[in-house]
Structure 1
């Protein structure tokens, strides 16, 4: 029995190492993603900052197969390949409207539009609508991050331009998007 336990622990350790090794380290320019401006401005104690965990680790119960995983609590996205390996992970700045946890599909995409905040944005990947507000990922053409005004209903989840390029390539119409806490 001890031998089986040791073998299982070794296997889990090796898989954790492989998962961490496959995650790009270029995420250092991202802001602290433990709390979003919307959460801080809203003063919602239920959305207080969480301690940062290993960004390579997918949230529990985030599905299987190829998918985009978006964590509301960590303001972080994982692009997961069909074998369940993280191909990229990055922090994001959410809008003031959060989708409910669940599984969605990419419903529409726009190469370039003007965001609700008046900022030109590109690579818009939409996956749901919350009370008339479209929710999706996008990147500001000028690379800026929005200052979220909780009194204005916005569903844009802002990425950096390189992360927006990766999302655009990965998340085509019908791609699964799993939203977790």
Structure 2
């Protein structure tokens, strides 16, 4: 019962620290374990791009952001079942084993980008608070660099993230229905291919 007196910030700090330790532990464990054959040849180290990109609206090119031309899986994005994240397109493709896009949607990137390359879906968190203080759900981490976790998620209320106000953020946000679809698709170990 003594825990009742702890302020909220102490709980958030403790949980965030614990999550980072778990992510680092899983990354170390994953690095020593077997990798899917498609990922063995190239395993880039994620590094955050230092130049922020302007945000795009999810409604660009169509009311639901799913315009036909953009639903084609990008070339040079690997083969087989995978998640593809296009940095310039601000778009994600969920691709089946036959290289067909099951779903494609636009996203709101953070101020930092991972380096293009091949990664894997790692730790998954059903709900937490983002570094910007927004309540988020269906968090799928896929890269870590320089103390920054890159992850897909959606805000609990479905809203787009507010401007970062100079903060460095690496969360890739999306609409609730897209975040739910990504959560169901990207189990731990699912290849994540980041393309320019």
Residue 75 of structure 2 is aligned to residue 57 of structure 1: no
Residue 115 of structure 2 is aligned to residue 107 of structure 1: no
1:163 partner SS: helix
Name structure 1 gaps, 5 residues minimum: 1-37, 42-51
Deviation of the 1:66 alpha carbon: 0.2
Residue 145 of structure 2 is aligned to residue 133 of structure 1: no
Residue 53 of structure 2 is aligned to residue 39 of structure 1: yes
On the 8 A contact 1:71/1:77 being kept in 2, the answer is: yes
Selected match of 1:171 from 186, 191, 194: 186
On the 8 A contact 1:96/1:150 being kept in 2, the answer is: no
Name structure 2 gaps, 5 residues minimum: 1-51, 56-66
For residues 56 and 174 of structure 1, the distance between their equivalents in structure 2, rounded to whole angstroms, comes to 24
Kindly tell me: are residues 73 and 98 of structure 1, through their superposed partners in 2, closer, same or farther at Cα, counting changes over 3 Å?
A: same
Deviation of the 1:107 alpha carbon: 1.3
For residues 131 and 153 of structure 1, the distance between their equivalents in structure 2, rounded to whole angstroms, comes to 11
For residues 104 and 150 of structure 1, the distance between their equivalents in structure 2, rounded to whole angstroms, comes to 29
Selected match of 1:156 from 171, 187, 191: 171
For residues 59 and 99 of structure 1, the distance between their equivalents in structure 2, rounded to whole angstroms, comes to 17
On the 8 A contact 1:95/1:148 being kept in 2, the answer is: no
How many residues in Structure 1 have an aligned counterpart in Structure 2? 134
Q: After TM superposition, where is structure 1 displaced by more than 2 Å over at least 4 residues in a row?
A: 147-151
On the 8 A contact 1:69/1:80 being kept in 2, the answer is: yes
State the Cα deviation string for residues 34-84 of structure 1 (Å, max 9, x = none): xxxx4238xxxxxxxxxx981111212000000000000000000000111
On the 8 A contact 1:78/1:89 being kept in 2, the answer is: yes
Deviation of the 1:147 alpha carbon: 2.6
For residues 105 and 133 of structure 2, the distance between their equivalents in structure 1, rounded to whole angstroms, comes to 24
